[in-house]
């Protein structure tokens, strides 16, 4: 047995599933003969399902906004700081040679495909981040130096040798693993699945390149010389082998020939079913819904939206948390700065435009969102300070005004001057008069029912308040003004009466 064969047998005995070389990332599946399927990252990435799973996760993370906020994560004082230098780096330019989209995507592809994504952090004299430089993961080896300290040893392909980087200068995105310090290589874990996928692809290529048949036997009654045998094989190969030459007529000269065709086809070999099954198995390794890699065999219009939500919750969220926590620790010069990075993946759970508008409307009327909040989510300019007011359904009043007209009865009457209580009762009559008049006019179909009901209420208010002139004295003018405000629905009765006697203003 050759030296290479003995080495492979030794590796097969030591590693029953596969082997990863720290230098060139070569894997192979253990076999009992010389037909092992060799797998490298490059070979795995050329498999459509593998690359599609890696790319859909990486592209989703890279295309999301990595926003910088001031405050403490989970606190109530969160505030976006779009002018921060790190905001520019994470969303516009990773470094002078690449966009933020390209840099984040390279980092995510390495993390998902190799288990670890690395980027060197370039800082200025104040230790602030000025650029991030992605490093190919096959050049990086996390090790402990002679002092027992963790360092990242990076091979220098251009000049040779290695350089050790301090962990504080390496942005490291880790994939799932059993140790936590580094991520496990997903290609290595999925080597059996990927090997079967490559084997199926090789089988399909052989099938369709050999005249769309698995085998054809030509039998000659007699004896062929070696030269004649080679000539006939050459002619058959030149004129009939290949999918473009399928079903062309062939002529064999001399003697009696018998042609036996093996009755095997892709349908009977379950080639298509095997391809479907292996795609779904690859998706399991990367936790990607099959429809995200254009495998729509079991997807319907009813369940595909929910599968998209599962992609956001089950696939993207773990990666988001890993990226955010590493950014909070590595990208800010001082822990006391109270800044953090938050990745916005709300887009991944958005529905169609109509559903989004209904959701935003519910959020506004429930006091969850302000108009400016919604406009920011839509990418529009805000309306100014007035757009930051939070309202609720009904009278659409400010949150701080909710409940002012619902105080307990004892609070309204307790320790209240007689004149104030009297005035409040008059204001209540004015309010009831206005509401009753408005309801009648609206029922009658009057288009000016609001203006007319307010006008009638004002007339009634002047009449009622004038009767209190002896009791109100110098507060008469204020009482009339507040009566008109009650008549127009601006203030509730108890509040208007309190303002008259206590000198309060809205």
pLDDT band, residue 35 (cuts 50/70/90): very low
Say if residue 396's pLDDT is above 70: no
Give CA–CA dist 431/441, Å, rounded.
15
Higher pLDDT, 155 or 39: 155
- The owner of tokens 């097969």 is 12
Give rounded-to-5 percent helix, strand, coil for the chain: 50, 15, 35
Q: In angstroms, how far is CA 412 from the centroid of its own chain?
A: 52
Residues 6+ apart with CB under 8 A from 17: 29, 30, 191, 192
pLDDT band at 32 (very low <50, low <70, confident <90, very high): very low
Between 221 and 254, the more confident residue is 221
What is the phi-psi region of residue 473: left when phi exceeds 0, alpha when psi lies from -120 to 50, beta otherwise? left
pTM of the model: 0.60
- pLDDT over threshold 60, residue 21: no
**Percentage of residues of the chain with pLDDT beyond 70:** 74
List Cβ neighbours of 487 (8 Å cut-off, separation of 6 or more).
430, 431, 434, 454, 457, 458, 460, 461
Q: Torsions phi, psi of 118, nearest 5?
A: -125, 145
E strand residue ranges, 221-300: 257-261
Query: Residue 68: which pLDDT band, with cuts at 50, 70 and 90?
Result: very high
* Mean pLDDT within 158-163: 81
Residue of higher predicted confidence among 55 and 374: 55
Provide the pLDDT for residue 11: 40
Least confident of 19-28, 101-110, 219-228, 341-350: 19-28
Helices (H), 271-346: 271-286, 304-310, 317-330
Q: Residue 245 has which token pair?
A: 């030459």
Residues in the chain: 506
Residue 479 pLDDT exceeds 90: no
Highest mean pLDDT among 163-172, 373-382, 477-486: 163-172
Using alpha carbons, select from 423, 417, 495, 407 the residue that is nearest to residue 464.
423
Among 166-170, 310-314, 413-417, name the most confident range.
Answer: 166-170
Q: Which of 224, 254, 219, 249 is nearest to 236 (CA)?
A: 249
pLDDT at 318: 93
Tokens of 281: 């198995």
Output the average pLDDT for the chain.
78
Q: Does position 72 have pLDDT exceeding 70, yes or no?
A: yes
Q: Which residues contact 474 (CB under 8 A, 6 or more apart)?
A: none
CA distance 54 to 206: 27
pLDDT of 34 higher than 50: no
When comparing pLDDT for 17 and 258, which is higher? 258
What number is the average pLDDT over the span 364-373? 84
Q: Using pLDDT thresholds of 50, 70 and 90, give the confidence band for residue 10.
A: very low
Highest averaged pLDDT of the listed ranges 354-363, 400-409, 413-422: 354-363
pLDDT at 395 over 60: no
Query: Span 101-127, mean pLDDT?
Result: 94
Distance (Å, whole) CA 137 – CA 287: 22
What number is the average pLDDT over the span 46-74? Answer: 91
Q: Any idea which residue has 């008059």 for tokens?
A: 426
Residue pLDDT, tens place only, 115-135: 999 999 999 988 899 999 999
CB-based contact 446:452 (threshold 8 Å): yes
Query: What pLDDT is attached to residue 210?
Result: 56
Q: Tell me if 496 sits within 8 A of 485, measured CB to CB.
A: yes
pLDDT at 173: 95
CA distance 151 to 148: 9
pLDDT higher at 503 or 455: 455
Q: Which residue shows structure tokens 């890696």?
A: 54
Residue 369 DSSP SS3: coil
């Amino acid at each position: 047995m050759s030296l290479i064969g003995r080495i492979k047998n030794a590796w097969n005995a030591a590693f029953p599933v596969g082997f990863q070389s720290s230098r060139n990332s070569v894997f192979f599946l253990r076999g009992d003969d010389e037909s092992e399927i060799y797998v490298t990252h490059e070979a795995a990435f050329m498999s459509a399902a593998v690359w599609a799973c890696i790319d859909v996760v990486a592209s989703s993370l890279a295309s999301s906004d990595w926003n910088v906020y001031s405050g403490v994560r989970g606190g109530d004082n969160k505030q976006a700081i779009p002018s921060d230098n790190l905001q520019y780096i994470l969303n516009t330019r990773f470094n002078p040679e690449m966009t933020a989209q390209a840099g984040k995507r390279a980092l995510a592809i390495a993390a998902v495909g190799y288990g670890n994504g690395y980027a060197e952090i370039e800082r200025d004299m104040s230790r602030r981040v000025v650029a991030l430089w992605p490093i190919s993961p096959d050049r990086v080896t996390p090790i402990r130096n002679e002092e027992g300290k963790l360092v990242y040893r990076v091979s220098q392909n251009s000049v040779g040798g290695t350089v050790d980087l301090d962990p504080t200068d390496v942005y490291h995105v880790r994939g799932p693993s059993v140790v936590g310090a580094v991520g496990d290589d997903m290609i290595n874990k999925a080597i059996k699945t990927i090997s079967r996928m490559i084997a199926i692809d090789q089988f399909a290529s052989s099938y369709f390149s050999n005249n769309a048949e698995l085998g054809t036997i030509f039998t000659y009654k007699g004896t062929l010389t070696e030269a004649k045998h080679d000539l006939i094989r050459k002619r058959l190969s030149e004129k009939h082998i290949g999918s473009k030459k399928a079903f062309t007529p062939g002529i064999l000269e001399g003697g009696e020939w018998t042609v036996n065709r093996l009755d095997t086809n892709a349908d009977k070999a379950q080639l298509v079913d095997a391809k479907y099954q292996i795609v779904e198995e690859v998706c399991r390794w990367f936790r990607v819904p099959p429809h995200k890699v254009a495998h729509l065999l079991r997807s319907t219009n009813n369940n595909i939206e929910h599968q998209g939500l599962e992609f956001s919750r089950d696939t993207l969220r773990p990666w988001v948390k890993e990226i955010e926590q590493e950014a909070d620790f590595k990208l800010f010069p001082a822990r006391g700065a109270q800044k953090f990075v938050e990745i916005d993946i709300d887009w991944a759970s958005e529905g169609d435009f109509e559903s989004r508008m209904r959701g935003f409307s519910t959020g506004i009327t429930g006091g969850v969102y302000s108009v400016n909040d919604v406009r920011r989510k839509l990418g529009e300019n805000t309306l100014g300070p007035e757009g930051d007011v939070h309202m609720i359904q009904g009278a659409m009043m400010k949150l701080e005004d909710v409940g002012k007209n619902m105080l307990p009865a004892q609070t309204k009457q307790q320790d209240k001057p007689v004149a104030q209580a009297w005035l409040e009762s008059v204001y209540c009559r004015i309010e009831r008069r206005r509401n009753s008049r408005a309801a009648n006019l609206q029922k009658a179909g009057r288009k000016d029912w609001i203006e007319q009901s307010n006008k009638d209420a004002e007339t009634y208010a002047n009449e009622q308040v004038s009767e209190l002139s002896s009791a109100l004295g110098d507060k008469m003018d204020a009482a009339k003004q507040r009566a008109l405000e009650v008549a127009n629905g601006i203030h509730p009765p108890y509040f208007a009466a309190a303002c008259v006697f206590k000198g309060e203003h809205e």
